[in-house]
Structure formats: C-alpha cells, structure tokens
Amino acid sequence: MFVFNIEIFIDFKTLHYIMSEILIVYYSRAGNTEKLAKAVGEGVREGGGNPTLKSVEEVEINKLPEYDGIIAGSPVYFGTMAAELKKFFDESVVVRKKMVNKVGAAFVTGAHRTGGKETTLISILQAMLISGLVVVGDPLETGGHYGAAGSDEVGLKEGRALGKRVAELAELVHRKK
Ligand SMILES: Cc1cc2nc3c(=O)[nH]c(=O)nc-3n(C[C@H](O)[C@H](O)[C@H](O)COP(=O)(O)O)c2cc1C
C-alpha cells in the first residue's frame, strides 16, 4: 500500500488573500495597554484572522490600506486617548479614502475603575468613524458595549472576544474565503 504525503506551502502573500489581516495598533507607556493588545491579538487568531501588533511608533501609515481591520488601543489620559494615538489618527488622513469599510474597534486601560474608559473608547471610535471604518464594540457575551477595557482578567477576556469579533466580521465584510 502506498501512502501519499501531500504538503502544502502557503507564503505570506498568499495568506493575505485567504485570511483577514488585522492591525492592532496601540500606545503603551507602562505596559498595561500592550498586555491588553496581546490578548486582542489572541482573539484575532481565534477568529481566523492574522494579527499584526504594532506600537504607534512602529506603524507605517502608508501600509494601513493593506489591512482589513484596525483595532486601536490607548491608556486613558484625562478621559481621552493619549496624544500619541491621536497623532496616529491625524497622520492617517493621507490614506483616509482607502480606509472606507475596514472594520474598526477599540481597547483601553486606565488606573481608575471607571474614570474615563468609556469616553476614551468613544474618542477612538469617533476617529475611526470619521475615517470611514465600520466600527464595533465587544460582543454581547462580554457585555456588548464600546470595546475592551482593562488589563485584568475581565479586560483580557473582553480583549480576546473583541479581537475574535473583528476577525470574524472582517472575514464577512471582505469575503476572504
Ligand atoms: C498623563 C496621564 C493621565 C492619566 N489620566 C487618567 C485618567 O483620566 N483616568 C484613569 O483612570 N487613568 C489615568 N491615567 C492612568 C493610565 O491610564 C493607566 O495607568 C494606564 O493603564 C497606563 O497604560 P500603559 O501601562 O499602557 O501606559 C493617566 C496616566 C497618565 C500618565
């Protein structure tokens, strides 16, 4: 009896055509938001997408149109997003026309239990709406509000659920398979 061992090699370029490419862009000074970003990335993978994690300093604006979805994260600074993430959105204006219908979502961390998390999430979603993205919050299973908040177990669970939702929705919107 013969046994055929068939191996299939798929390079990254090909992968781009079959998986949703999700950029997770964040600003983090002390590491809390970065921790949540990693959980969001796990969720994206769980949802069948390919996550790319980049801090705002690393991200290349001209590469943004290559992604199917963008999930942006920030610490709460005085009830809104950090200036570094705002700068990222300001600079993205040059590719605005190419951002239409990409899936967008937000995540934040803050020192206070409430203390501006929702207003910060909304500030990020506002920028995304103005860029033409289709924005979503975390799914009903984690509360169904404006996104993921916090780097404790609850926040990380929200982050994973949010990442999964964005990957699944990007798949529906951009029909990769
Ligand atoms: C300038 C500044 C302003 C802040 N404002 C708030 C705030 O309004 N509400 C809050 O809950 N935390 C506030 N914080 C705390 C941070 O949001 C919190 O420590 C966050 O988790 C830090 O994220 P990082 O570890 O990713 O840098 C502030 C921190 C700084 C440095």
H-run or E-run covering 168: helix 153-174
Q: Is residue 89 part of a domain?
A: yes
pLDDT value for 5 = 61
pLDDT value for 175 = 78
Q: Which residues in 162-175 are b (16+ Cβ under 10 Å) and which e?
A: bbbbbbbbbbeeee
pLDDT value for 138 = 98
Q: Is 115's C-beta closer than 6 angstroms to any atom of ligand 1?
A: yes
pTM: 0.92
Domain count, the chain: 1
What's the CA-to-centroid distance between 118 and ligand 1, angstroms?
A: 13
H-run or E-run covering 148: strand 148-149
CATH for 75? 3.40.50.360
Q: Is residue 176 part of a domain?
A: no
Q: Is residue 121 part of a domain?
A: yes
Write out the residue range of the structural domain in which residue 51 sits. 12-171
Cα first-last separation, the chain = 35
pLDDT value for 11 = 57
What's the CA-to-centroid distance between 82 and ligand 1, angstroms?
A: 9
Instruction: Please report the atom of ligand 1 found closest to the CA of residue 27.
Output: 26
Burial of residue 132 (CB within 10 Å: 0-12, 13-18, 19+) is middle
Strand ranges (E), 10-125: 21-26, 50-55, 69-77, 80-81, 103-109
pLDDT value for 10 = 57
pLDDT value for 146 = 98
Splitting the chain (177 residues) into consecutive groups of 10 residues, what average pLDDT does each group show? Answer: 59 67 98 98 98 98 97 98 98 96 98 95 98 97 97 98 98 80
